[in-house]
Amino acid sequence: MPDATQTKKSPAKRKPRKAAPKKPAYLFEGPDWSFDTMNRTYAAIEEIALKELGLDIYPNQIEIISSEQMLDAYASTGMPLMYGHWSFGKSFLSEERLYRKGLRGLAYEIIINSSPCISYNMEDNTMATQTLVMAHAAFGHNHFFKNNHLFRMWTDAEGILDYLEYARTFIADCEERYGEREVERILDAAHALMPNGVFRYERPARPTLREERLRHRERLAQEEAEVNYLWERLQAKQRRKGAGRRPVEQVDPRSQIQMPEENVLFFLEQYSPILANWQREILRITRHIAQYFYPQRQTKVMNEGCATFCHYYIVNRLHEKGLITDGALFEILHQHTGVITQPDFDDPRFSGINPYALGFAMMSDIKRMALEPTEEDREYFPRIAGAGNWQDILKNVWANYRDESFIQQFLSPKVVRDFHMFSLQGEERSRYYTVNGIHDDRGFRTIRNTLARNHDLSVIEPDIQVVDVDFLGDRSLFLECHMSDGARLATRDRDSVLRHVETLWGFDVELDEIGASPGTGADVS
Amino acid sequence: MKNFIDRRLNPKDKSLGNRRRFLRRVRGQVKASVDDAIRNRKIADVDRGDKVGVPADGIREPRFRYEPGSGRVERVLPGNKQFGVGDRIRKPPQQGGGGAGKQGSNDGEGEDEFAFVLSREEFLDIFFEDLELPDLIKHTMKEMKTFKPRRAGYSVTGSPSNLAVTNTMKNAMGRRIALRRPSNAEVAALKEELFKLEKKSEPSAADRKRMKALREEIEEKNRRRAAIPYIDPLDVRFKMFDKEPQPNANAVMFCLMDVSASMGEREKDLAKRFFVLLHLFLTRRYDKIELVFIRHTHNAQEVDEDTFFHSRETGGTVVSTALEEMRKIIDARYPASDWNIYAAQASDGDNFPGDSDRCLAFMREAIMPLVQYFAYIEIIDEAEAEFLLSDETGVELWTTYKKLTADWGNFAMKRISRPADIYPVFRELFARNARESAHA
């Protein structure tokens, strides 16, 4: 069979001949990708990322998925192993419809803060896009996840996939035992409280997955004796009282509970008088997941800025080294520009400050200040201006700040000018907004402070606290919400969430809005 | 440090479970829109999935959040063109609000709809739920087409389970012979000879020479054996299968309906469900189904679907005219030898006095021998349904048709007042078909 040997050999022969005359061989040419080109490109990116930028990353696991799978991943908040809930079905249906109608493209990638760091790349991407995506996600985001202090403090990259797996089996198990509806009732309530299910200031000891499983087993073992010890004690006390013997020390059960408590889900999990153990475990799961996502919500600008800055630097370096073609660079730059577009406030496309644009602009500006400082920079940022070592400065920034503090510290007058930013202020009763700062010397600080506040979760999200429980009376639960700037809660949502809290608490729940402005007409509904 | 994984072949539709949960939650509203679809679509299109809107109310995901625009608002916006400090800007009308710029956050009247697309399966599920079909039938009716795998020669690719062992071995043997791969026996014979020579205590010069030659030959043969594999990937053949669609004959479905004034919206809606169900059933069995609509008052005519369901006629009721029209069309276009003929008739039971006997005779002689199945439904009021319990009594057409049931197994009749009553009309038909296919 001479035929066979020939066909086998020929491609191997052809390759070196083709590569030989051109000295700086491109990593890839043309739009098609293969695992071979991906591997080569990854290696080239890695060289730049680790040696020149000095990034520090988790091992990467890059998975190629189809567009249907991307839609699936969208629906479950990007997590590969999410438990079942109708709300994920809802988001799937709406994403699918938008996508089919062509109203929205799919993301090029999704990345998960885990170790190994999993990123999903779409198979429809061209090789140029795959290059962009790898530089952006597998290096930019990955470095940020591994190094930012919020992620280091609050998330367990090593454990999250195992934990989600555990959560999914646990919830599926509950559905089998107690019925889908019963589980859904608890999950609905828990989801409504997820933003109020995080510890903001102090992280409790983190149990490992083994401990978690062990605890779960113990809980099941105790299934029968599921009464909360506080209530038990209370009843015992009342029994004693009934027998006519006055207790020596009347301990207020409240003294055993730390209140006020900002983590409502945690409070309900620990102290709700009516929940069964499996229900408490579900609250715990949703609370953990909320906590896992909490750093991402606080670092949108920084996270995307870091990834965008990295991919921009890396692909430009690839081009400078003659590793990618002009065409590939243009394609990447076209996408890059799309991502960092900031429409003006009066543009129909405007939907707030684009975190990619702001993050990228600020980080590029830090690099500029380090290398080519102006007089203004020396005045505002004496430590950065002309320092030269922009890689170190940026790495320090990525590690130690979140959006609010990053803006507060590093927003420069130049970025404010480039964006033509201006700040507004308006009382509810007034029919006008007043401009209180524009991109000049005087307005700069106002704009910086306001923008930082706009990115501060504790300002843009209501702060709900559990303040009291009427243990000896009708067991009402009292919540408090301190309103900043005289805002008030959206009535309809507030009432539905309170109903959910009642589901979990079992008795009346009251919410006090402190410092809320008296409602206008909207309050009546 | 890195790992590429190709997940494209992993199962998709991971969200199916969640989708199902979601649909369960909005069941009520979805049902309403499915009912609507049945009313408004053509019979042949009914089972197409489609966009459905449900009020967002039952599926809101509430959170504690600030009322947009409440309190003092402070914001930074990009793209300043002419404003200076102290300028006042009129707030945009309360809606998107000067606030958070999210749509759908307006409460009060803002009843935004949540729209999505139902798949065909989901649509049928809900439709069938209404008709109270048993699961087995739901399942078989949803199958689109059946294919039978048919052997279609051999190919060089395929799954291991389809490996054609004989052909593979045949090819291997041919190749081995052509390339003169030494066989086991050849080598064994040489080794044998060598062994014998080696055993000689005093080998002659010729022996030595022979031994050397033998050793070389054995080595050469072994080298050839190693170079020419026993089975090469080139030899491997797989059985190939073509998917062959099941041969299906054509069918024609006649829809007969009384459209005199006594048939109102409700009656027509029930009739339509009845026709839809028969059509769905037929789509499972036949590739091509033609629909013929015949409406009648005191005379009958063939019309298109839209006219059939939506226009009104006045006049008396003479059922036999419709049957005669049907026979005429059969003779002209659908010879019974080439077509499977199904007929469904819906009426409120009225007939012109004396015509019923004519109908009976005509059915016996001219219709029933030709058709596969004839289903008749009489649509009655829910109130009426309570005292019309016995099948024996009834208005004229009913008692007349009753006589047919004894003689013709393929004739079914039923009174219906609710959608759920429709299915039992077909029970017999399904049972019969299930038996038939079990035999086949």
- Residues of B with CB below 8 A from A1's CB? 175, 179, 232, 234
Print the domain residue range for B37. 13-57+113-131
CA distance A504 to A18: 69
- B258 and B228 inside one domain: no
- The answer to whether residue A17 scores a pLDDT higher than 50 is no
State the pLDDT at residue A365. Answer: 95
Contact at CB, A72 and B114, closer than 8 angstroms? no
With bands split at pLDDT 50, 70 and 90, how would you rate the model's confidence at B146? low
- Residues of B with CB below 8 A from A350's CB? 79, 101
Write the CATH number for B354. Answer: 3.40.50.410
CA angle A39, A44, A50 (to 5 degrees): 115
- B327 and B194 inside one domain: no
Q: Which residues contact A48 (CB under 8 A, 6 or more apart)?
A: A313, A314, A317, A318
- Whether the Cβ atoms of residue A86 and residue B21 lie closer than 8 Å to each other: yes
* DSSP 8-state symbol, B392: S
With bands split at pLDDT 50, 70 and 90, how would you rate the model's confidence at A11? very low
- Report the interhelical angle of B423-439 vs B265-285 (nearest 10°): 10
Please identify which residue in the block is written with the tokens 């072994």. B222
Contact at CB, A93 and B14, closer than 8 angstroms? no
Domain boundaries, chain A: 28-148+299-317, 344-458, 461-524
Residue B85 located in a structural domain: no
Tell me whether A78 touches chain B (CB under 8 Å). Answer: no
Q: What is the mean pLDDT of chain A?
A: 83
- Whether the Cβ atoms of residue B178 and residue B236 lie closer than 8 Å to each other: no
- B274 and B405 inside one domain: yes
CA distance B36 to B275: 16
With bands split at pLDDT 50, 70 and 90, how would you rate the model's confidence at A22? very low
Contact at CB, B4 and A431, closer than 8 angstroms? no
The more confident residue out of A498 and B142 is A498
> What is the count of structural domains for chain B?
3
With bands split at pLDDT 50, 70 and 90, how would you rate the model's confidence at B141? low
Interface test with B, best of A117, A424, A520 (most B CBs within 10 A): A424
With bands split at pLDDT 50, 70 and 90, how would you rate the model's confidence at A305? very high
State the pLDDT at residue A12. Answer: 40
Tell me whether A124 touches chain B (CB under 8 Å). Answer: no
Residue B67 located in a structural domain: no
- B189 and B306 inside one domain: no
Tell me whether A288 touches chain B (CB under 8 Å). Answer: no
Distances (CA, A) of A9 to A5, A18, A37, B233: 6, 15, 21, 16
- B231 and B258 inside one domain: no
- B259 and B199 inside one domain: no
- B180 and B275 inside one domain: no
- B365 and B423 inside one domain: yes
State the pLDDT at residue B100. Answer: 38
- B120 and B255 inside one domain: no
With bands split at pLDDT 50, 70 and 90, how would you rate the model's confidence at B387? low
Residue B151 located in a structural domain: no
- B315 and B347 inside one domain: yes
Residue B384 located in a structural domain: yes
Two tokens at A106?
Answer: 């799919």
The pLDDT of B14-26, averaged and rounded, is: 82
- Residue in chain B lying closest to A187 (CA): B61
Here the ipTM equals: 0.78
- Give the distance from residue B2's alpha carbon to the nearest chain A alpha carbon, in angstroms: 5
With bands split at pLDDT 50, 70 and 90, how would you rate the model's confidence at A398? very high
Tens of pLDDT, residue by residue over A410-446, are 999 999 999 999 999 988 888 888 999 898 888 899 9
Tens of pLDDT, residue by residue over A110-156, are 888 998 899 988 888 889 999 999 999 999 999 999 999 999 888 88
Contact at CB, B73 and A494, closer than 8 angstroms? no
Tens of pLDDT, residue by residue over A455-508, are 998 888 888 999 988 877 888 999 999 887 778 888 888 999 999 999 999 999
- B291 and B335 inside one domain: yes
CA distance A22 to B117: 53
CA distance A457 to A449: 14
- Partnered with residue A480 across adjacent β-strands are A465, A512
Residue B8 located in a structural domain: no
State the pLDDT at residue A524. Answer: 34
Say which of B1, B8, B19 has its CB closest to residue A92: B19
CB-count exposure of residue A132 (10 Å: 0-12, 13-18, 19+): buried
Cis amide bond preceding A260, omega within 30: yes
Residue B154 located in a structural domain: no
CA distance A277 to A221: 10
CA distance B374 to B413: 8
Tens of pLDDT, residue by residue over B412-421, are 787 888 777 7
CA distance A308 to A316: 12
- B367 and B393 inside one domain: yes
Tens of pLDDT, residue by residue over B265-313, are 788 888 888 888 778 777 766 767 888 888 888 888 888 888 887 777 7
Contact at CB, B8 and A85, closer than 8 angstroms? no
Please identify which residue in the block is written with the tokens 């730390």. A258
